[in-house]
Structure 1
Amino acid sequence: MGKKANVYIVISVFTLIVLMLLQYSRPKEINWFPSFVSQHKIPFGTFVLNDVMEKMFQGQTQQVNKPPFEFLNAEENNAGTYFFVNDKVEFGEAELHTLLDWTSKGNTLFIASAGFEEQLTDTLHLKTSGLYADFGEEQKQRHRLTNPQLQSEDGYIFDKDSHSLYFKSIDTLNTKIVGEVSSVSKNDSLAKKQCNVLRQSFGQGQIILSTFPKAFTNYFILKDNNKNYTAGLLSYLDASQPIYVDNHYKSGKSFYTSPMYIFLNTKEFKWAYYLVLFGALLYVVFEGKRKQRAIPVVMPLQNQTLAFTRTIADMYFEKGEQKSIIEHKIAYFLEYIRTHFYLNTLKQDDVFYQHLAMRSNHSKEEIIALFSYIDQLNASTEPTDDALKKLNSLIEKFKAKAHGK
């Protein structure tokens, strides 16, 4: 390896090391994935919410990792509040029926979701719609609580969504509006307030629905004074009874099964892993090149069958043994008929000629003429070269027409 090549290698390695150092020192990107998992400390996790609830409802919160259907059927005395928070909560017919039946017995069902299944909204006589900012307006929403004791003069601003869901139609006789949402506009007095949190009695219990699940995330709670909005919503929960916090319906994973997660999620382990891979690559390139030996080229054996056949044929032809050549030629032709058309060649009668003509795309007369000439050659004691050439020509024409050529 020349000096010029060594210089290029050194420059390449140095550049790669610099790039890796710059990448290592770069600030870690914020993960905005809406996981809603209680252990996650990312912006849209619910670690702060669970910490707040444990302090507000001391000894009353219980983390539930089972599906609601399984949990409610397994527990005999499970009265209280079932608390769901996720980007999307959809139960299914059987599970929803179980939850509603449990709620009607004097319990509370709290669901914060950016969308609800049709069966639930139809049961509660609700209809939802989307709230979007006008063109040129900021993509922000202002959230308020309707309870005078929980109201804030300026409301609570959320600036991480371009739209918000609200209830455009509610059952006014049984429903109480708990929270409202409006778009932040230049003329705030003209912004129309829409219901996005409501409470509705259901049997002997109650159902609380919120279309703003991100009100319970780390980002919203820790920003400005937004914690008062979240605390206001939590104040509607009965602190005297157990509160079952759902961990089943979550967009994110509460634990990771892949062992590579530890390496790739921790900066130090991740770059140590990359360095090991880079070192292994360098070892393969340089060590492998140094020990590699030239592999000799072994030519494959040639098929000498055709050359051997031609040699034997030339010997027969030169010795004038046309009779032997004709006999071999006829024998190979009959074998060809047996293997390609599956006919018995021992008895050459009208039935044989008819079947061979049908299978080889020939007329019966052409087959009879060919085999008549073969019989003529078999009967001849000293056939000529012309007779041999004519036989070969007839056989080749037969094969060509039989194969559609």
Structure 2
Amino acid sequence: MNKTFKIYAVIFIIIMVILALLEVNKKEVTDWRKNFDVSQKSPFGLYVFDKEAKPLFKDKLQKIEQSPFEYYQKKKAPHNILVIESDLDTESWRKILNEVSKGSDAMLLMSRMPKDVSDSIGYYNEQISFEEQNVLKLTDKKYQNDFVKLDKFPSGRGFLFVKPNVEILGQTLEKNNSGKANFIKVKFGKGNIYVHSEPLFLTNYYLLKPGNVKYAQDVFSYLDDREVLWFSERNNQESQFFMRFILSNPALKYAWWILLGGLVLFIFFNAKRKQRIVPVIEPLKNTSVDFVKSIGNLYLQEGDFHDMMAKKAQYFLNKVRIDLLIDTQNLDEEFAKKLHLKTGKPMDMIREAINYIKKGQDPYASVMKEDLERMNRLLDEILK
């Protein structure tokens, strides 16, 4: 186990411990999501309605965990159809319309209506407002004292336009807006279709408030006293996904996503191809300078300053011929002037350097160490 893996493992364990401590010490948080789930006791679940539905419909309620398309495979006597915030596909809606045309009644309590429903019934453009409070009230005078005040996340949905053959049974009343229809009825064949755009009044939060049950009873009183089929397949069918338990618990779900995120980061940062450490190869050392130094030290040890001056003079004149293109055959006044013009050095310096060059070329000249040093400085200065 390498060091990097150990570091990631320690970090992961620390994160898991922190999450566990947060989960143990966290306060109970109310889930205000609009789930409309019959198994949820959260404010916007349908747990209370599910328990009170049978008495409300005089024990004539039957919950169907299939879609209308799957359920209606054989003839059935006229009955009531109830749909609360469930997805209706086109084929299921056609089955419902077929049953309504033969004498059944359908009541849809849905905040978002499929286009097939609105086109069949005859209303358009669901209107939405953003008021913090509104009141649901029926238009029939005998129900004037029964209403529901929505003070938690009302959708404010209503029907902006309905056809003349559509009867308005209820409205949403708001402080700063005029009333708009939210409960309508339309005749279809031998039966009726009822549509309510605000199913919040059936949730736990509102049904448990005093007096609100009466409004729900008034809404369902429009249905005939007969068998009621409640199509609740979306809310009651248990998911067959193998991760359903983890994803159904918020704490486990967050831990799962953190685990996946950490795994992705681990793979990302370790995705580079690993290889052996490439050894550092030192470049070949330039020994020319060392060689020159060795030769220089040899000459110094021999003490042959005259020979060193001759070689330095020869090197200098060669550089002048190649770099400055000056003829060095005659080291006269003409040579000195050309060298002065090409290098820009003073004539006195150039004449002194020429004298030292001539001295180095003369095999009979007497040369001292100081002469070699002075000549070396002059020639180097000229060639700068």
TM-score if structure 2 supplies the norm length?
0.56
Give deviations 1:33-74, integer Å, cap 9, x for gaps.
33323222222221211222211223311111111012112x
Give the Cα–Cα distance (whole angstroms) in 2 for the partners of residues 121 and 259 of structure 1.
Answer: 37
Amino acid at match of 1:80: H
Contact 1:130 1:163 in 2 (8 A): no
Residue of structure 2 equivalent to 1:382: none
Structure 2 counterpart of 1:140, one-letter code? Q
1:17/1:104 CA distance change after superposition, 3 Å: closer
Q: Give the Cα separation in 1 of the matches to 2:163 and 2:14.
A: 70
Shift of 1:217: 1.6
1:179 Cα shift? 0.9
1:79 positional shift: 2.4
TM-fit CA distance, 1:23: 3.8
Task: Determine the structure 2 residue equivalent to 1:304.
Answer: none
The aligned counterpart of 1:24 is 24
Please name the residue that 1:126 is paired with.
123
Aligned residues: 249
Assess if the C-alpha contact under 8 Å between 2:155 and 2:198 holds in 1: no
Counterpart of 1:38, as a letter, is V
Partner-residue secondary structure (3-state), 1:144: strand
SS of the residue 1:132 aligns to: coil
Out of 232, 238, 252, the residue aligned to residue 255 of structure 1 is 238
- In the other structure, the counterpart of 2:270 is none
> Residue 253 of structure 1: CA displacement?
5.9
Give the aligned residue type for 1:255.
E
| Cα separation, 2, equivalents of 1:89 and 1:263 | 24
Q: 1:257 to 1:150 in 2, by over 3 A?
A: same
- Partner SS state of residue 30, structure 1: coil
| 2:54 corresponding residue in structure 1 | 54
* Residue pairs, 1:210-289, within 5 angstroms: 210-239=196-225, 241-248=226-233, 250=234, 252=235, 254-257=237-240
Matched, 1:107 2:117: no
The root-mean-square deviation of aligned C-alpha atoms, in Å, is: 3.6
Distance 2:38 2:215 in 1: 19
Shift of 1:201: 1.4
| Conservation of the 8 A alpha-carbon contact between 2:80 and 2:104 | yes
Aligned partner of 1:95 among 57, 81, 92: 92
**CA 1:253/1:58 → structure 2, altered by over 3 Å: closer, same or farther?**
closer
Whether 1:116 and 2:101 are equivalent positions in the alignment is no
8 Å CA contact 1:82, 1:109 repeated in 2: yes
Q: Is the 2:135–2:172 contact (alpha carbons within 8 Å) kept by the matching residues of 1?
A: yes
Q: Is the 8 A contact 1:141 1:183 kept in 2?
A: yes
Q: Unaligned stretches of 5+ in structure 1?
A: 1-12, 186-190, 278-297, 301-405
User: Which residue among 145, 149, 159 is the counterpart of 1:167?
Assistant: 159
Q: Larger radius of gyration, structure 1 or 2?
A: 2
Q: Please name the residue that 2:173 is paired with.
A: 182
CA offset at residue 131 of structure 1?
3.2
What is the percentage of aligned positions where both structures have the same residue?
A: 20
1: CA distance, partners of 2:83 / 2:222? 14
Deviations 1:275-331 (A, max 9, x none): xx9xxxxxxxxxxxxxxxxxxxx999xxxxxxxxxxxxxxxxxxxxxxxxxxxxxxx
Match of 1:156 in 2: 148
Task: Tell me if structure 2 keeps the 8 A contact 1:37–1:247.
Answer: no
* SS in structure 1 at match of 2:238: coil
**8 Å CA contact retained: 1:143, 1:179:** yes
CA distance in 2, matches of 1:179, 1:51: 25
Residue 162 to residue 107, structure 1, CA distance change in 2 (3 Å): closer
The offset of 1:139, in angstroms, is 1.8
Distance change in 2, residues 1:299/1:183 (3 Å):
closer
Aligned partners of 1:264, 1:171: CA distance in 2, in Å?
A: 44
Change (3 A) 1:110 1:19: closer
Query: Does structure 2 retain, via aligned residues, the 8 Å contact 1:37–1:254?
Result: no
Instruction: Give the Å deviation of 1:177.
Output: 1.5
